Amino acid sequence: MAGYVARRLAFLPLTLLLVAFATFVVLRLTGNPVDIFLDVNRTPEQVAALTQRLHLDQPLPVQFLIFLWDLLHGDFGESLQFSGSAAAVVGQRMGATLQLAGAGLGLALGLGVLGGIVCAVWRDRLADTVISALAVAGQSMPSFWLGILLIEFFALQLHWLPTSGYGDLRHLVLPAVTLAAILMPNFALITRTSVIELMGEQFVVTGRAKGLSRLRVLVTHVLPNALNPVLSFLGIQLGTLMAGSIITETIYAWPGVGRLLINSIFHRDVPVVEASVFAIAIAIALANLLVDVLQMMIDPRIRQA
Amino acid sequence: MKRRTALALATLLAPLLTGVAGAAGKSLTVGASVFPDSLRSGTSSYASLSLLEQTNDPLVARDNEGGLHPALAASWEMVDPTTMRFHLRQAVKFSDGVELTADDVVFTIGRVLDPQTAYAMLSRIGQVQGAAAVDKYTVDVKTKTVFPTLLRGLSDIIIEPKHYYEKVGADAVAAHPMGTGPFVFKEWVPGDHYTLTSNKAYWSRPPSFDTLLIRTIPDGSTRVASLVAGESQIIEEVPIDLIDQVNQSGSAKVAEISTTVGLVLTFDTTIKPFDDPKVREAFDYAIDKKLILAQILKGQGEILQGQVLTKGVLGWNPDLKDRGYDPARAKKMLQDAGYDFNTPVPITTQNGKYVSDTDICNAVGGMLTQIGVKATVNVVEGGVFQQMSNAFKLGPLYMIGWYSVGDADFASVWYTKAGLRTKWSDPEYESLFVAARSTNDVEQRVKDYNRMMAILDDQTPSLFLFGLPSLYGVSDGINGFGAAADKLLRLTHVQIK
């Protein structure tokens, strides 16, 4: 398994290079940072000075090579909007995003799987109907709308939680719930389906015939097998989670990388966009690797293949 | 054991729960809509200047309505037509205790003029040649030509401390600004908040509260929620459709003022048939501006009267009136002009750059469609819009807002060849623009601008739509805050009840 992980890690730089290239080209082709940074009535001297500072007078391939060269030295470049290195700017904001994504994912996974199990165990009963209906409703509810409803209810009506901002645990609740709502319904529905499927499998029937309790069979035989599809889905949906965190961060004024990224794109602040995209790409790649390793640990069949 | 843990927890939590209000005295929280990425001076955004003016003062300050007042300069006079002499207020101190002198002003203006600084607001004092100290409290600002908008331009330039730049460097200044202003930097967390304490030694009236917290809340409904929940006392940019919610909340009201931003739809007059003024005029008759103002802008703001300037700005022509809405006449005029109704007319706009920009374009598109014009709306992202604008390829009709900050010069330049923002040009307009810029005689300038506005009205290079409103949400728990036409936060007079 160590060899597998090493092979996967060896491909990471290639993925990152492709990501860097795509980001660079799209940003450079769709807008000139000089126009956006300087006022509409900028002077030609100012334009020349800034163009030179950002190497924009060079052909695009040369610009990319300069960028790569700096990157090899661990330097994303100076941010245009911020004072300071782009990597530092992104680093400052990464903590908030990881905190939000971690809480959201944990909540979605925990509640989603639990809900799915409840649905499967009490299949076609009241609990199943209610949870499945909620899941479908949740799936079709856009985050920004849900966010506004949550703020209205918990902050304005009940005064339990702050409307927005970054700070103690109370500030985290609503954003985490909003983010979790994107993935939770899927986790619940997938868990439900796979648990129901597994309950009919022979090894489950055998376990019951041996005299194991329903709970015991569920926990030791069904659940580990049911988790695999959930994990596969999680691996695919990490991108969705990041996209969702951009919206969530905006609604709740959460100072994370998602909002930073959007802002930097508007300003064509290429160093910061590249650094953010890198951070996100690395996080997703590593999380995917973790998912694969977990799956291998759970299911010997994947290990052999 | 358990009790001890609980006690320890309570001790830890207590400052969190009570600290802000208890220990630090009175505190004001502002929910900002646009938050700059850094506190570097000289970026082109007013959101940035709004934060910088909390710690730093200009020589000449504007008020909420756009009037000019002495700030760091106590008085000024013309020495000759291209030299203005400023007499600085004496005994003004930066918050580190060093006295403000003419050297700081000379340093600041030199820094602004240096192209390497990339000071985006340079254009506001573009005709300035340089500044020289006459004595410790007197500065001469020399201009290349007669420059009637010098004072107004200087009101956008904050004076920065020379000794501080020399000691720590520009990056460190941006990370921790320091000035003569009403507040003193305390903490800056990018993307989250800016905390300041009041400057008890402020040369004008010091603020009556102790702490100022400016939080970024990018989403409009969240901003309103934070105001209604009492988390903030002032919020910027109340979304038009939430005005009623604020006013009916029982704890806050909306404060409104007209900005100097004139929202227009500009024609590319080199694209046929829009080279024909009659066609452009016909389009103007097809738009029911009253309806859009009432329905989309909820009655906030004003209808532009056939000119790019908003009411009351120096140079605004009071004799001009909007053409009014007459779709039958519009259609007839188009038919008479031989207009081909199959011509596609895409309206190019950004989304969220101006209040309700896309909605207004959609409404205009719909009204044009009603008289048979094949209008569509093309929404593009900001950077792409800039690129199209530089290449002069925004299509036959595009939406843009021109601000004047009180003087016609700043908005009328966009209809000259030198402005590089419109294909339309008119020789008389060009020469009047140059004339108005080359004299300090205010009466003559007003006359020139009035005539220029009449030319715009007659030629219709743009469909002049609306003067946009500036809307703030203000808690009933405070007094003394007013909506600002230029969207700069002026908080020294705020009283917390």
B241 touches chain A (CB under 8 A): no
- Which of A145-149, A171-175, B288-292 is predicted least confidently? A145-149
Asked if the model's pLDDT at residue B159 lies above 90, the reply is: yes
Kindly identify which residue of chain B lies nearest to residue A52, measuring between CA atoms: B116
B189 touches chain A (CB under 8 A): yes
Beta-sheet pairing, B462-475 with B302-303: antiparallel
Instruction: Give the minimum alpha-carbon distance from A164 to chain B in angstroms, rounded to a whole number.
Output: 7
A113-138: pLDDT as tens digits: 999 988 888 888 888 888 888 888 88
Could you say which of A50, A156, A166 has the minimum Cβ distance to residue B228? A156
In 3D space, the residue among B136, B138, B112, B129 whose CA is nearest the CA of residue B56 turns out to be: B112
C-alpha to C-alpha distances, B497 to B195, B338, B478, nearest whole angstrom: 21, 65, 5
Could you say which of B40, B43, B382 has the minimum Cβ distance to residue A266? B382
Residue B93 DSSP label: B
pLDDT > 70 in chain B, percent: 95
A21 contacts A61 by C-beta, under 8 angstroms? no
Top-confidence residue, B281 or A69 = B281
Looking at residue B389, its pLDDT comes to 84
Q: Do B123 and A32 touch (CB under 8 A)?
A: no
Mean pLDDT, residues B346-360: 91
User: How many CB atoms neighbour CB A109 within 10 A?
Assistant: 19
Q: How confident is the model at residue B253 (pLDDT cuts 50, 70, 90)?
A: very high
Q: How confident is the model at residue A52 (pLDDT cuts 50, 70, 90)?
A: confident
Top-confidence residue, B3 or A102 = A102
Mean pLDDT, residues B336-340: 94
Looking at residue B445, its pLDDT comes to 94
Q: Do A267 and B44 touch (CB under 8 A)?
A: no
Looking at residue A4, its pLDDT comes to 82
Could you say which of B119, B191, B226 has the minimum Cβ distance to residue A163? B226
Q: Which of residues 97 through 156 in chain B touch A, CB cutoff 8 A?
A: 115-116, 118-123, 126
Q: How confident is the model at residue A305 (pLDDT cuts 50, 70, 90)?
A: low
Backbone phi, then psi, for B67, in 5-degree steps?
Answer: -70, 150
Which of A83-97, A252-266, B305-319 has the highest mean predicted lDDT (pLDDT)? B305-319
B11-23: pLDDT as tens digits: 444 444 443 444 4
Mean pLDDT, residues B329-342: 94
Looking at residue B6, its pLDDT comes to 47
B45-98: pLDDT as tens digits: 788 899 999 999 999 999 998 899 999 999 999 999 999 999 999 999 999 999
CB contacts of A170 in chain B (<8 Å) are none
A88 touches chain B (CB under 8 A): no
Looking at residue A43, its pLDDT comes to 76
Work out whether the CA dihedral B48, B54, B56, B59 comes out positive or negative: positive
Mean pLDDT of chain B, nearest integer = 90
Asked if the model's pLDDT at residue B7 lies above 50, the reply is: no
B386 touches chain A (CB under 8 A): yes
A51 touches chain B (CB under 8 A): no
Instruction: Give the minimum alpha-carbon distance from A305 to chain B in angstroms, rounded to a whole number.
Output: 47
Top-confidence residue, B254 or A72 = B254
Could you say which of A39, A92, A263 has the minimum Cβ distance to residue B123? A39
**CB proximity list for B261: less than 8 A, separation 6 or greater:** B310, B354, B401, B402, B403, B467, B468
Q: Do B189 and A255 touch (CB under 8 A)?
A: yes
Taking CA B115 as the corner, what is the angle to CA B112 and CA B119, rounded to the nearest 5 degrees? 45
Mean pLDDT, residues B330-344: 94
B473-497: pLDDT as tens digits: 999 999 999 999 888 999 999 999 8
Looking at residue B23, its pLDDT comes to 43
A210-258: pLDDT as tens digits: 888 888 888 888 888 888 888 888 888 888 888 888 889 999 999 999 8
Instruction: Give the minimum alpha-carbon distance from A216 to chain B in angstroms, rounded to a whole number.
Output: 35
Looking at residue B15, its pLDDT comes to 42
Mean pLDDT, residues A171-188: 90
Kindly identify which residue of chain A lies nearest to residue B249, measuring between CA atoms: A156
Which of A72-76, A147-151, B68-72 has the highest mean predicted lDDT (pLDDT)? B68-72
Q: Do B122 and A163 touch (CB under 8 A)?
A: no
Kindly identify which residue of chain A lies nearest to residue B171, measuring between CA atoms: A83
B183 contacts B172 by C-beta, under 8 angstroms? no
Could you say which of A45, A250, A268 has the minimum Cβ distance to residue B115? A45
The whole model's pTM is what?
0.84
B250 touches chain A (CB under 8 A): no
Could you say which of B38, B121, B226 has the minimum Cβ distance to residue A81? B38
Looking at residue A304, its pLDDT comes to 64
| H runs (alpha helix) in B418-481 | 427-437, 442-459
Could you say which of A43, A144, A164 has the minimum Cβ distance to residue B126? A43
Q: ipTM greater than 0.85, yes or no? A: no
Looking at residue B420, its pLDDT comes to 76
Q: How confident is the model at residue A68 (pLDDT cuts 50, 70, 90)?
A: confident
A193-211: pLDDT as tens digits: 888 888 888 888 888 888 8
A52 touches chain B (CB under 8 A): no
Looking at residue A124, its pLDDT comes to 84
Looking at residue A37, its pLDDT comes to 73
In a mutagenesis test of the B interface, which of A23, A36, A83 is the best target, namely the one with the most B β-carbons within 10 Å? A83
